[in-house]
């Protein structure tokens, strides 16, 4: 299991104690008291402030998502009720599904804005400000691996791919391939944050490899790969991985004279890399699938070859006997 080692934690506490001119035990007590105050505060002002902030975010998300779903609702009413004149049962199912979608998106995005984004940003700042910033690469890869598994669009795509290919491309194969691809992309993004190099060094060769694979991979895998790039860079990626990179950039380049430039150059680009790596990984899966299919077909031919030769010899014997 990946995590910060005990000796690294001690070094962080020592650095904070040295900076503030206090003992390590006092630093630990202050951190613990701050956590307790945040989580177990009975102060009505603190609770009222949190409730007000939560309520404002909830109302904001309800309005924004309502406006986003309204055109879909209009299309459903237009096609289902007026043009197709579908029965009431199917229309009711569609409306219930839209209601579930609306509630789910409101709850998810409210939680993401209140919880996910601040926590990811703070985590990036804490790690980026310490001498253990290298841990951003494996930690980002680990988070990327699991975040893509929680993407709603990924689950929908994997189900459709399995159904359309009659199980030839399973959900598990698609899910693990996407998870590995996203983990690699997040690791590369974190390396950019730490080592400060241009995103072009990844995007240009990455898309060149993806385009090159198109000539050797079955067409169905190419189509799936390009769709996978879109679904992998969904709301989970944008609400957690992007703030993580931004927070790390804020801490690493805080004292840099080109702070704003560094933030724009290295803090963004995570979603672009997340959208790129599935194009390569899924097509590599298609290439392996193509090779395995050829090997399997060749083995079947070799097994049937003696039978085919026997049939040919038998036909020749019959022809000679008839002559």
CA 21 – CA 42 distance, rounded (Å): 31
| pLDDT(6) > 50 | no
Q: Residues 6 or more apart from 78 whose CB is under 8 A from it?
A: none
Residue 223 token pair: 């189509």
Residue 94 lies in a domain: no
Are the C-beta atoms of 248 and 128 separated by less than 8 Å? Answer: yes
204 pLDDT band, cuts 50/70/90, is very high
Where in the sequence is the domain holding 317, given as residue range(s)?
Answer: 136-323
pLDDT of residue 208: 94
pLDDT computed for residue 321 by the predictor: 46
* Mean pLDDT of the 83-108 span: 82
Q: Which of 187, 202, 178, 205 is nearest to 245 (CA)?
A: 187
The conformational region for residue 110 under phi > 0 = left, psi -120 to 50 = alpha, else beta, is alpha
Using 50, 70 and 90 to split pLDDT, how confident is the model at 207? very high
* Predicted model pTM: 0.69
Band of residue 46 on the pLDDT scale cut at 50, 70, 90: low
Taking Cα atoms as reference points, which of 123, 146, 145 lies closest to residue 193? 123
Q: Residue 4 in 3-state DSSP?
A: coil
Residue 147: count of CB within 10 angstroms of its CB: 25
Looking at residue 205, its pLDDT comes to: 93
Rounded Cα gap, residues 113 and 61, in angstroms: 10
315 falls within a domain: yes
CA 78 to chain centre: 34
Which tens digits make up the pLDDT trace of 284-296?
988 888 888 888 7
Q: Is 209 a residue whose pLDDT tops 90?
A: yes
The answer as to whether 157 is a domain residue is yes
318 compared with 36, residue with greater pLDDT: 36
The answer on pLDDT for 39 being more than 60 is: no
DSSP string covering 110-159? HHIIIIIHHHHHHHHHHHHTSTTGGGHHHHHHHHHHHHGGG-HHHHHHHH
Q: Give domain status of residue 3, yes or no.
A: no
Domain count, the chain: 1
The secondary structure of residue 262, as a DSSP letter, is H
List of long-range contacts for 6-10, beta carbons under 8 Å, 24+ apart: 8/130, 8/132, 8/135
* 230 inside domain: yes
The Cα angle at residue 82 between residues 64 and 97, in degrees rounded to 5:
45
Q: State the Cα–Cα distance between residues 82 and 15, nearest whole angstrom.
A: 69
Residue 237 domain-assigned?
yes
Q: Which of 37-46, 181-190, 251-260, 299-308 has the lowest mean pLDDT?
A: 37-46
231 vs 178: CA distance, rounded Å: 10
Range of weakest confidence among 170-174, 293-297, 314-318: 314-318
- φ, ψ of residue 227 to 5 degrees: the values are -70, -35
Q: Quickly state the pLDDT bin for 41 (edges 50, 70, 90).
A: low
Q: Are 223 and 161 in contact (CB under 8 A)?
A: no
Any idea how long the chain is?
A: 323
Tokens matching residue 89: 């049962």
Q: Residue 314 above 60 pLDDT?
A: no
Residue 76 maps to a domain: no
Q: Which two tokens stand for residue 293?
A: 């299919």
* 225-272 per-position pLDDT tens digit: 888 888 888 777 778 888 888 888 888 877 777 767 777 777 788 888
The pLDDT value given to residue 1: 36
Task: Judge whether 224 lies within some domain.
Answer: yes
- Nearest alpha carbon to residue 138 among 196, 190, 203: 190
Model confidence pLDDT, tens digit, residues 101-128: 888 888 888 887 777 787 787 888 888 8
pLDDT tops 90 at residue 11: no
d(CA 266, CA 241): 13
């Amino acid at each position: 299991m990946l995590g910060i080692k005990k000796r690294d934690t001690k070094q962080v506490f020592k650095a904070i104690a040295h900076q503030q001119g206090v003992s390590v035990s006092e630093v630990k007590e202050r951190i613990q008291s701050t956590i307790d105050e945040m989580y177990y505060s009975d102060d009505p002002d603190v609770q009222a402030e949190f409730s007000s902030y939560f309520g404002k975010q909830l109302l904001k998300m309800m309005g924004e998502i309502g406006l986003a779903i309204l055109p879909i609702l209009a299309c459903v009413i237009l096609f289902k009720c007026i043009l197709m004149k579908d029965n009431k049962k199917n229309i009711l199912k569609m409306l219930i599904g839209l209601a579930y979608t609306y509630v789910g998106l409101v709850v998810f995005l409210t939680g993401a804005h209140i919880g996910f984004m601040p926590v990811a940003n703070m985590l990036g700042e804490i790690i980026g400000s310490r001498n253990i910033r290298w841990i951003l690469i494996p930690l980002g890869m680990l988070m990327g691996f699991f975040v893509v598994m929680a993407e709603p669009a990924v689950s929908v795509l994997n189900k459709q791919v399995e159904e359309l290919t009659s199980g030839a491309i399973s959900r598990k194969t698609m899910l693990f391939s996407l998870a590995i691809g996203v983990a690699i992309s997040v690791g590369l993004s974190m390396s950019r944050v730490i080592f400060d190099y241009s995103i072009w060094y990844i995007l240009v060769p990455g898309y060149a490899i993806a385009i090159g694979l198109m000539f050797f991979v079955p067409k169905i895998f190419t189509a799936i790969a390009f769709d996978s790039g879109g679904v992998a860079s969904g709301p989970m990626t944008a609400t957690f991985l992007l703030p993580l990179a931004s927070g790390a950039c804020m801490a690493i380049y805080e004292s840099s004279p080109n702070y704003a430039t560094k933030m724009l150059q290295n803090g963004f680009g995570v979603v672009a890399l997340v959208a790129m790596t599935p194009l390569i990984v899924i097509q590599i899966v298609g290439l392996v699938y193509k090779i395995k299919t050829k090997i399997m077909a060749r083995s079947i031919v070799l097994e049937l070859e003696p039978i085919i030769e026997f049939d040919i010899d038998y036909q020749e014997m019959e022809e000679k006997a008839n002559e």
